[in-house]
Amino acid sequence: MTTTRLTSRLSSRRRGEPNHRWIRVVMAVLATIGVIDTGTITLKRWGVIGQLSCPGGADGCDKVLNSVWGSLFGQPLSLFGFLAYATVLVLAVLPLVLKGELRSSLSERSWWGLFLVTGGMVVFSLLLMGLLIVKIKAFCFFCVLSAVLSLSLFALSLAGGDWEDRGQLVFRGVIVALVVGLVGLGWAASVDRPAALTTKGTPPAVVSASTPATLALAEHLKARGAVMYSAYWCPHCHEQKELFGKEATAKLTVIECAPDGVNSQRALCEQKKIEGFPTWEINGRLDSGVKPLAKLAEWSGFKGPALP
């Protein structure tokens, strides 16, 4: 009797899976969009590609992606989104291309994988949307797109699986939501602490000490009319300043581009079409991103002491 019931259940799943093929196809398409979305942002943050056109305004996207919540373990947060979407893509496509018993055994497990992965993505996306609205207070089209994709993928995973044990579904879903939610909240709170120590509209204080070489370079850049366009909330701008050190940074010409920043020169930044921070203007040429000091020295014709 048990064997007959098991055979009937397996036959039912094999008949039902073809009806769910379209769900896998849709999930694969949405995951591919997510891979392109997060992959492009990651390449931009790595400096592999240039500026991105952000619907709704580049300033908002740049403020979000370059905020303290835009990185994790020293890497762009979008990189981890890319890995999540790539995982969903693999889990959705594999049962469509495999054959035989391997396909049958992987089919059910892949639905569980899709449910758990996309469930975690939804919880983390909701956390990021909360930070977007409450803390960063900016609109980022790419972030909203990722949240919509995550929610859609989660809904499709629920519709596609043969959930015979609803209790296990709820239990595992709650566990994933709690773990991702608690870890995400802890991370969001921990990286926000340095920001709480600064006055609104002002960048964090530079704490590293300058060297004779960095002081000489800063003086040279100022004499050559070099300008660093910055935003007080930009962690990469702070990283650039830390390379110079406290005393040398004070000698640089730094233009504040954030509209709500102290001594903001937003009009000048818009005139120069500054879209990424930091952006250096040296000898009439604009280039964005954190630059090694040796590169700045070469670019500006600095002939002083050697720089790292």
The answer to whether residues 121 and 252 belong to one domain is: no
Asked whether residue 203 is assigned to any structural domain, the reply reads no
- Give the model's pLDDT for residue 125: 94
Residue 162 is encoded by which pair of tokens?
């043969």
Q: Do residue 121 and residue 250 come from a single domain?
A: no
Write out the residue range of the structural domain in which residue 183 sits: 2-196
For the chain, how many structural domains are there in total? 2
Q: Name the burial class of residue 280, with classes exposed (0-12), middle (13-18) and buried (19+) by CB atoms within 10 angstroms of its CB.
A: buried
- Identify each DSSP E strand in 80-197 by its residue range: none
* pLDDT for res 50: 65
Domain membership flag for residue 128: yes
**Structural domain includes residue 99:** yes
DSSP state of 68: G
Of the candidates 196, 231, 256, which is a domain's last residue?
196
User: Which CATH number characterizes residue 253's domain?
Assistant: 3.40.30.10
Q: Do 120 and 241 belong to one domain? A: no
Is residue 306 one of the residues assigned to a domain? no
**pLDDT single digits (tens) 283-301:** 989 988 888 898 999 999 9
The C-alpha torsion from 163 through 168 and 170 to 172, rounded to 10°, is -120
| 112-128 confidence digits (pLDDT tens) | 999 999 999 999 999 99
Asked if the structure places residue 307 within a domain, the reply is: no
pLDDT at residue 62, as a whole number? 72
For residues 277 and 291, what is the distance between their CA atoms, to the nearest angstrom?
Answer: 11
Establish if 246 belongs to a structural domain: yes
Show the low-confidence residues of the chain (pLDDT under 70). Answer: 1-19, 47, 50-52, 56-59, 192-199, 308
- Check residue 164 and report its DSSP letter: S
Q: Please give the pLDDT value at position 12.
A: 44
pTM above 0.75, yes or no: no
